Amino acid sequence: MELITVNCLQGQSQVLVGELLSNVGKYLPEGNVFIITDNNVKHYHQASFPLFPIYSIDAGERSKNLEEVADIYRWLLSQGADRTSFILGIGGGVVCDIAGFVASTYMRGVNFGFVATSLLAQVDASIGGKNGVDFDGYKNIVGTFNQPQFVICDTSILSTLPKDEITNGLAEIIKHTLVADAQMFQYIECKMGSLKQFDSSLLLELVVHSARVKSKIIQADEREKNERKKLNLGHTWGHAVEKVSGLPHGKSVSIGLEFAARLSVQKGLIEKRDYLRIMNVFRELDLPVCLKINPLKIFEALKMDKKKTANSIDFILMKGIGNVVIESIPLHEIQNFIQIKANNEK
């Protein structure tokens, strides 16, 4: 087991990579614990849950809304949950987002922790203290910054997941290398055969790496004032893709990463050969890099992104592999870039 400690404004948050779901009881208070999970995770893993009341949501992004949150508040009240209660989220990214948001807002905030059961949650959604829900289909418009006491990443569960679930998580793993580690990106290129077979020891290594990259950035900028914005690489366009297309988060991010890489080439920040290396990795992993949807529809969704300020939006661009820069780009410049590509494809 790898222990990664994240020092935050509110204290320490521990990420335990390789710990088992069945051992979560060691990290919980003796009583007054309430579990939030989804129907799929409950069906397959309830036997390993600690014996506390369970609220189960439907699996998928559609459950990540204020109406579901309100139902959970009512359930907690009916169960007698108070300010000494502890919320335990067991599931993927949607469960972690909802459980963290509920815990951060119920009775002005109670303690909480996660057992991340998907690769996407283990390398991204469960780590960092961003908790939020969607509003009218727009990603994470309502949310908080609040750290879990612990995050357990049970990598043994990954072998039970469908291929698509693993692929979604790989997009975030690639993103972390593009943000902060050119050598790890090259390592992934060399290990592509094993990665395509979802080799368990390699996945464990990559989960640890992503957790360390993200934790280091979070400690430098917990509230996303500057440095942490870099973790949004691929997400500005990717969230708009997710809104318009309904694609899963990871696949939407891979499309967003292609957009960011292509824009970086156009601005002279990254070499075309590095762009092609990135695209090759995505294609090898069956991650999409384009979408048969009018990009102007995606642009309209992008204009509702929470990172927009007046007529500009913070965009994360690649300055070579393993390094990124934050640039505030006028919306009309992004629109012109989209139209240039459309004209070139005619």
DSSP string across 208-249: HHHHHHHHHHHHH-TT-SSGGGGGGTTHHHHHHHHHHH---H
Q: What is the pLDDT of residues 251-260, one digit of tens each?
A: 999 999 999 9
Identify which has the larger pLDDT, 340 or 73. 73
pTM: 0.92
Residue 195 has pLDDT above 70, yes or no: yes
Size (the chain), residues = 346
- Alpha-carbon distance 239 to 208, whole Å? 25
Q: What is the pLDDT of residues 157-190, one digit of tens each?
A: 998 899 999 999 999 999 999 999 999 999 999 9
- Alpha-carbon distance 297 to 295, whole Å? 5
Identify which has the larger pLDDT, 268 or 305. 268
Q: What is the pLDDT of residues 97-106, one digit of tens each?
A: 999 999 999 9
| 3-class secondary-structure state, position 52 | coil
The closest of 184, 221, 210 to 15, measured between CA atoms, is 210
- The mean per-residue pLDDT over the stretch 31-48 comes to 96
Architecture of domain 168-345 in CATH?
Up-down Bundle (1.20)
- The mean per-residue pLDDT over the stretch 108-114 comes to 97
Dihedral of alpha carbons 109, 155, 176, 142, sign: negative
According to DSSP, the β-strands at 130-135 and 138-145 are antiparallel
pLDDT (0 to 100) of residue 174? 97
> Tokens 């917990």 correspond to what residue?
222
What dihedral do alpha carbons 70, 165, 154, 132 form, nearest 10°? -30
Residue 286 has pLDDT above 60, yes or no: yes
Architecture of domain 2-159 in CATH?
3-Layer(aba) Sandwich (3.40)
Domain layout of the chain by residue ranges: 2-159, 168-345
DSSP label at residue 157: G
> Tokens 């060691």 correspond to what residue?
26
> Tokens 């309502």 correspond to what residue?
142
The band of 10, judged by pLDDT with boundaries at 50, 70 and 90, is confident
Lowest mean per-residue pLDDT among 33-42, 108-117, 124-133, 217-226: 217-226
pLDDT (0 to 100) of residue 220? 86
Task: Name every residue whose Cβ is closer than 8 Å to that of residue 134 and which is 6 or more positions away in sequence.
Answer: 61, 64, 65, 140, 141, 142
Rounded (to 5) percent helix, strand, coil in the chain: 55, 20, 25
Highest mean pLDDT out of 68-72, 225-229, 335-339 = 68-72
- The mean per-residue pLDDT over the stretch 41-55 comes to 97
Residue 28 has pLDDT above 80, yes or no: yes
